[in-house]
Structure 1
Amino acid sequence: MPRRKSVREERLLLPHEDVSPQVVQQRAAHMSGLRAQLEPLLLAYSAAESTAGQVMNHVIRRPPAAVARVAGITHTLWACDDDQEIDLLTSGLSRNQALIADGHHRHAACLHLGRQPGSPWKNSLALLVDTNAYPLRLSAIHRVLPGLDPEKAASLAADVARVLSLPDGPRKPGPNELVLVGAGHAWSVTDPEPRALREALASRPREWGALPAAVSDHLLLDTAWAVPDLPGAVRYSHDAQQAVADVAAPGSGTALLLPATTEVRVRELARAGVLMPPKSTSFGPKPAVGLALRVLGPP
């Protein structure tokens, strides 16, 4: 069950998604075995002062330490080892709450490994982004169910929500809508039946009733469709067009397209101690794996 904390227990680092203990254990074993972090956590914060921005504008006038183009995105890395510049960059950070935009399982793995006295995992490699100056892209993560027939999915969904055919085919979901797709057909799914939703989210935070990922995963996947918790039963796609293409052929399964939420809403929930379901959000662009490493060396 997602953990809820008091607003009085506000911390500098705010997670916003729940994690899987099994995945945390896997990440911890991987990081411990490598004695390295291959990529930083992605943290989003809002700066009230411009000092850090002024320093960064000065730093990026220097030749970069590395440049890499990955999946159509150019990543440029500069080194800053001047003590005065570092002090200016970090002086205002302690007054800001940073949202974990990406890397919840890696952060939880660091916390797990850091419980040992003297552990080097009490610290973590991180990329902080001032989203006032450099807004991150926030998109949804869609569900693809290879073993579920779309006509059957639409029929069963109609038992717990309002389902309408979309004769013009799939489209971007509205704020309180899911779009069901498969074999060239599409349906709009809205207005969950209140009692069914309450039962599906029993013991979950009440705020989950308005979260698309909670409605998707608990009301539809778990309750209406009884999708088994087995490897490959659900795939996650960050690209809606690709998700639709994956189920275009008859017999290829069903895709469920989710709407994106807003960073403001994510922060509201995080500050209230409400963790969203896993795979609720996708912040980007993410730093390229291997561009910045934290290598601990031999034990």
Structure 2
Amino acid sequence: MPRFTPFRAVRYPTDTNFDAVVAPPYDVLSAEQVRYHHDRDPHNITRIDVPTGDDRYARAGALYRQWLDEGVLVADEAPTLTVYRLRFTDPTGAERTISGVLGGLEVVDEGAGGVLPHERTTPKASTDRLDLTRATGANLSPVWGLSLAAGLTDLLAEPGEPVAAVTDDADGFRVEHLLERITDPDRIAAITELIGTDDVLIADGHHRYGVARSYRDEVRTATGRTDTAAEDTLVFVNELVADQLSVAAIHRLYRGIAADTLRSAIGDRFDLAALDADHPDARPDPATLARMEAEGFLTLITAEGAWTMTPKPGAFDDVRALDGVWLEETLADLTAEVSYQHGVEEVLSAVGSGDAVAGVLIRPVGVAEIERTAREGLLMPPKSTFFTPKLKTGFVIRDLS
């Protein structure tokens, strides 16, 4: 089972205007958004986490060390854990609170168990995160992990020392980000011991965790040691429980194939019907997603229209009941290029502009299915889940020196 440890967290001082210095994770920021955050404050975390221009990694590392020297960032006096709560009303109107904890999670070899991927990942050739880790000697953006150990939520219920708070609407709905420091050794021990009793499933940040593995191996080779800070990486862990998590679907876009060919292949396993029989030109909207959940269909979108996709009786009797798996099975013999998009409007825009030949809206994966897949040691298709809201970068940094 994975080791979970406290560490001397590096933070902005508690009197900081956190709204000006923290930011969404690097992998959801456009170039324009990066510029916006760079300009918000001379100490915005993106200046280190998403550096730009020539020699950007060296400059990011130098800036990180400068901020430490100047007191812009300060390290806790002793190893701590940090409770991170996200309070929000999800798109369905349900009020949720995600209560998790930031600590150092063991970096394990691929396939070793303890820390599990929950979906197949798409290759990423970029060494950006590894170069940044080398230059800064720090974990800047947390991986999001789901603990399969029951009882973590209860252990985190008691408030800790408030250290930061931000409220924003960046994820399409209002989100409160609340950070609390835990210094009590007994409470730290109880939390770390519980997390260490069962697997942790990576919800978001598979690439970051893979980078941590590469960095750990580099440090082992350079030092001959297996007891450095690189043996763990910064992870937010919360309990895998349905009432906390808000899981959205990531829809499919198809290119490099004729729309008629794609529709014909889909028709082999799905019954197709107009999305709205009374209005043939009707296009999907957010209400369509609710219909899909209630009535059990997917939605095909092409330039010619939109159709419900209802599985034919017996079509997937021997296939796991996941929309992404059904699509892979249905289109296995085609050479279409597939990409991923989590917004309905973005899918409509891609198809309407001709950037994509077709799109398929799928339903979100339930928490029970996420746990079942993990327990059975299986992987979902790439981009099966989109966990919201996103954690902020900058609240807690884990120094590796």
Could you say which TM-score interval applies, normalised by the shorter chain? 0.7 to 0.9
TM-aligned CA deviation for residue 132 of structure 1: 4.0
**Ranges of 4+ aligned residues in structure 1 off by more than 6 Å:** 192-195
Distance 1:78 1:56, change over 3 A: same
One-letter amino acid matched to 1:140: A
Mapped partners of 2:196, 2:176: distance in 1: 30
SS in structure 2 at match of 1:91? helix
Q: Among 256, 267, 270, which residue is 1:162 paired with? A: 270
**CA-to-partner distance for each residue in 1:114-158, whole Å, 9 max, x for gaps?**
233435332011111124496111221111236656455323432
Mapped partners of 2:274, 2:252: distance in 1: 19
Aligned position for 2:302: 182
SS in structure 2 at match of 1:65? strand
One-letter amino acid matched to 1:223: D
Q: Among 214, 222, 230, which residue is 1:112 paired with? A: 214
Aligned position for 2:330: 219
SS in structure 1 at match of 2:263? helix
> How high is the sequence identity, in percent, across the aligned residues?
26
SS in structure 1 at match of 2:359? strand
Aligned position for 2:251: 142
SS in structure 2 at match of 1:287? coil
Unaligned runs of 5+ in 1: 1-8, 199-205, 229-233
SS in structure 1 at match of 2:120? coil
- Point out the more displaced range, 96-105 or 132-141: 132-141
List aligned pairs for 1:55-204, cutoff 5 A. Answer: 56-59=157-160, 62-67=161-166, 69=168, 71=170, 72-115=174-217, 116=220, 117-118=224-225, 120-132=229-241, 135-145=244-254, 150-158=259-267, 160-168=268-276, 169=282, 170=284, 171-172=288-289, 173-174=292-293, 177-183=297-303, 185-191=305-311
TM-aligned CA deviation for residue 91 of structure 1: 3.2
Number of residues paired by the alignment?
269
Asked whether the equivalents of residues 150 and 239 of structure 2 are also in contact (C-alpha less than 8 Å), the reply is no
Mapped partners of 1:184, 1:53: distance in 2: 52
SS in structure 1 at match of 2:378? coil
TM-aligned CA deviation for residue 38 of structure 1: 2.3
Q: Which has the larger radius of gyration?
A: 2
Distance 1:131 1:163, change over 3 A: same
Aligned position for 1:18: 120
TM-aligned CA deviation for residue 13 of structure 1: 2.5
Distance 1:215 1:124, change over 3 A: same
Mapped partners of 1:193, 1:133: distance in 2: 29
One-letter amino acid matched to 1:183: A
SS in structure 2 at match of 1:270? helix
Mapped partners of 1:167, 1:190: distance in 2: 11
Aligned position for 1:270: 374
Structure with more strand by fraction: 2
Distance 1:210 1:70, change over 3 A: same
User: Considering only aligned residues, what root-mean-square deviation do their CA atoms show, in Å?
Assistant: 3.5
One-letter amino acid matched to 1:129: N
TM-score, normalization by structure 2: 0.57
Asked whether the equivalents of residues 269 and 330 of structure 2 are also in contact (C-alpha less than 8 Å), the reply is no
TM-aligned CA deviation for residue 284 of structure 1: 2.5
Distance 1:236 1:252, change over 3 A: closer
Distance 1:75 1:184, change over 3 A: farther
Aligned position for 1:36: 138
